Amino acid sequence: MNKNLLLLVVLLLLSAAAYFIYNKARVQNKMSSLSAERDFTVDSAEEIYKIVLTRKDGKPLHFEKRNGKEWYINEKYKADDVVVGYMVQVLTKAKMKSIPSKNADATLKNYIKNKGILVEVYGKTGELLKKIHIGSDMQGGEGTYMLLDGYEQFYAVELPNLGGALRSRFEQPLERYRDKFIYRDAIETIQSLKVEYHEDPNASYFIRFTGTAYDIKPAVATVPEMKAEANQNKIKTYLNFFDELGAELLYNHYEKRDSLEKTLPFCTITMEKKDKTIKTYRFWNYEQTVYQAEENDEPADVIHIGRYFVNTGEDLFTVQSGVFGKIFAAYPYFY
């Protein structure tokens, strides 16, 4: 009898232990699942090598990192590292803000279906790191609803200590993501530079690196050369201006672009690099171009006062005259 009682006690203890272990594992699995479905981020920006945005109203945008640092779009355009950085910031630092009510599920699912943005994040070897569905911003703009692919629960997500909605970082048009630098040409990469002022030939010039120094001559054969020796420091200072000059706006959508580009620019700059590549940039004075027209009171025109148009051969930009004015030196300046 004592042996049977002892055996029963042992069986009860084993059953209790098994139930405890099972229940603990079940709770841990549930907590692990909750943690996984709330994990919208990658550990660090260094892990991210590709981002694919699929929007309902346009073609997918593929962002790929080259050389471990430079981003390119659709294998064609250099990306604006700052704007791409705003996306990466979300993908590495966003946190759960709150859980929307069950009553909101149907609305959120419908929004994802019709207006959602799918964000796929890949690592260095092409492995999928995250797949996120971005929904609408919260009504007060303090966060954005997101859903991890493979899960059912939506979450409101935010950037801690920053606030604000996050969706806009992933729904910009292509032109907003593109790099807006016109010149990023270090002096040691420049072989020659021709600057032509079409209404003032006397101010035009041609600079060429000879191997030991810089030679400068008038760009027009009928203009006599200066008899003095050119100031090499002035030439070097001038060429260093081309190291980093960025535009204000990519303006390919400008409705008057065709008529603008049929007019004579006030300046054309042709740069030859030491790798033999040649690129031509045409500049128009915005105010002179627009305000000579009969209709010049459109808001799209007014915002560009104090600007230049510049055509890079493929794209049209607007640049601030206060930034680019220094590259429009005249021939006598270098003596």
One digit per residue, the tens of pLDDT, for the chain of length 335 reads 566 666 655 565 555 555 445 454 443 444 344 467 889 999 999 999 999 999 988 889 999 999 888 999 999 999 999 999 999 999 999 999 999 988 888 999 999 999 999 999 999 999 999 999 999 999 888 999 999 998 989 999 999 988 889 999 999 999 999 999 999 999 999 999 999 999 999 999 999 999 999 999 999 989 999 989 999 999 999 999 999 999 999 999 999 999 999 999 999 999 999 999 999 999 999 887 776 654 544 444 444 568 999 999 999 999 999 999 999 999 999 99
Question: In the Cβ-directed half-sphere of 257, how many Cα atoms lie within 13 Å?
Answer: 14
pTM greater than the 0.85 cutoff: no
Phi then psi dihedrals of residue 201, to 5 deg:
-55, -30
Residue 262 confidence (pLDDT): 94
As given in the structure block, the two tokens for residue 80 are: 């604006």
Taking CA atoms, 5 is separated from 14, 16, 17, 18, in Å, by: 14, 17, 18, 20
Question: In the Cβ-directed half-sphere of 215, how many Cα atoms lie within 13 Å?
Answer: 9
Eight-class DSSP state of 265: P
Residue 238, C-beta contacts closer than 8 angstroms, at least 6 positions apart: 207, 327, 329, 333, 334
Residues 140 and 127: beta-carbon distance below 8 Å: no
Q: What angle do CA 219, 224, 228 make, to 5 degrees?
A: 100
Range 250-259, long-range pairs (CB < 8 A, 24+ positions): 250/175, 250/176, 250/178, 250/180, 250/315, 250/316, 250/317, 251/309, 251/316, 251/317, 251/318, 252/175, 252/315, 252/316, 253/175, 254/300, 254/316, 255/300, 257/316
Q: Strand (E) positions, 61-197?
A: 61-66, 70-73, 77-78, 95-98, 117-122, 128-137, 144-148, 155-158, 181-183, 190-197
* Helix locations, 183-312, DSSP H: 232-240, 257-260, 286-290, 299-302
Residues 79 and 71: beta-carbon distance below 8 Å: yes
